[in-house]
Amino acid sequence: MNAKRVKFENISKVFVTDKNRQVKAVNNINLDIQPGEFVCLLGPSGCGKTTTLRMLAGFEVPTDGHIFIGDENIERLTPDKRDTAMVFQNYALFPHMNVFDNIAYGLKLQKLPKEEVEARVEKILHLMKMEEFAERVPSQMSGGQQQRVSLARALVMEPGVLLFDEPLSNLDAKLRLHMRDEIRKLQQEVGITSIYVTHDQSEAMGLSDKVVIMKDGVIEQVGSPTEIYQKPANSFVANFIGRANILEAVIKEVGEDGYTIDVHGVPYSVEKSKEYQLGDKVEIVVRPEAIEVSEEGNFTAKVGKSMFMGAHHEYEVNFFGKPLEISLNNPKNKSMVAVDESLRFSLDAASIHIL
């Protein structure tokens, strides 16, 4: 495969609605995607993910900015000239064609010799272990199988960039997990640059080399799943990815590459993220699993909720008047603390991230 680099430079898209209202769907985004990377655009519904993808595919024209695939500036090219292929949420297969013909369709349009078309379709059917489906029409297949055909139809074009718009949303939860693993495996096998739109954080975390968090047409953060989780850029990202406690703290000491912060009277040494001055009030993120329940803990708080979840135990305690979530892993041999009793705990200093 000829994996391509993708670059968005100051891309904006303004829609004008029937009532002459302007909607800024995408607001000045910059993004640099390396060849072979798997990148997810993740964010709540309406944040501009689909519009971004459609501008890359050529179905929408940017209001401003430039898009490059490889070294080529592509804003003026029609979709068929862009070296992209898209997998849609609703599969978009031709209902009257069998699987083989559905997959062959794009190649036939390119007027390739019959032998080459057949060889390429067979190769993809083999890669996706779908040889036995070649003669079926879409109505004779499950949603998951149809989505695999739709993926095969995109892959057979050997595009430089593969695009996905919420491809698993119509499948049930179990099949979604299975297909997610299959997409990732296949992508790694063929090494194709992939851009995948989803509003499902676990999908994005499980698939991506890089996650792009969007909100209201703006990119909030770009990073690996670990970076996004451990070092969220702001409280929106912290709350959107996983669960987060956001606490107040004060900078007590400024060191070379760290701070000492005061969290309700307890000092913690933490890594430097941004520049702060002595005495600054800051917000810190503490994940529920980064709180250590122990008899020697620094804090004591009254338990408001106590739930045994099997693999972990969840508490909500009253922490200086605000709810604090605590998740205790592998709780089987630990004695549980009931509602209205007190729980002792400390924060794990290494997991504290200053916003």
Ligand X SMILES: Nc1ncnc2c1ncn2[C@@H]1O[C@H](COP(=O)(O)OP(=O)(O)O)[C@@H](O)[C@H]1O
Nearest alpha carbon to residue 74 among 11, 165, 158:
11
* Shortest Å distance, C-beta 199 to Mg ion: 8
Query: Residues touching Mg ion: how many (CB under 5 A)?
Result: 1
* Shortest Å distance, C-beta 179 to Mg ion: 18
Task: List the one residue from 11, 25, 207, 222 that touches ligand X (CB under 6 A).
Answer: 25
- Is residue 204 within 8 A of residue 40, CB to CB? The reply is yes
DSSP-assigned beta bridge partners for residue 257: none
Site for Mg ion in 36-65 (CB under 5 A): 50
Count other Cβ atoms within 10 Å, centred on residue 150: 23
| Window contacting ligand X (CB under 6 A); options: 15-23, 137-145, 153-161, 183-191 | 15-23
**How far from 209 is each of 1, 266, 289, 308, CA to CA, in Å?**
18, 37, 24, 33
Q: Is 187 in the site for Mg ion (CB under 5 A)?
A: no
* Shortest Å distance, C-beta 92 to Mg ion: 15
Q: Is 17 in the site for ligand X (CB under 6 A)?
A: yes
**Could you give the CA distance from residue 304 to residue 212 in angstroms, rounded to a whole number?**
35
Q: Is 46 in the site for ligand X (CB under 6 A)?
A: yes
**How far from 193 is each of 32, 60, 69, 135, 168, CA to CA, in Å?**
12, 21, 11, 30, 19
In three-state secondary structure terms, 4 is coil
Task: List the one residue from 7, 49, 120, 153 that touches ligand X (CB under 6 A).
Answer: 49
- Residue 46 binds which of ligand X, Mg ion, none (CB < 5-8 A, kind-dependent): ligand X
Q: Is 48 in the site for ligand X (CB under 6 A)?
A: yes
Q: Is 51 in the site for ligand X (CB under 6 A)?
A: yes
Backbone region of residue 298 per phi and psi (left: phi > 0; alpha: psi in -120 to 50; beta: other values): alpha
- Residue 61 binds which of Mg ion, ligand X, none (CB < 5-8 A, kind-dependent): none
| Window contacting ligand X (CB under 6 A); options: 17-25, 76-84, 108-116, 274-282 | 17-25
| Window contacting ligand X (CB under 6 A); options: 46-54, 79-87, 137-145, 156-164 | 46-54
Angle at 120 between CA 119 and CA 121, to 5 degrees: 95
Residues near Mg ion (CB under 5 A) are 50
Query: Which residue ranges make up the site for ligand X (CB under 6 A)?
Result: 15, 17, 23, 25, 43, 45-51
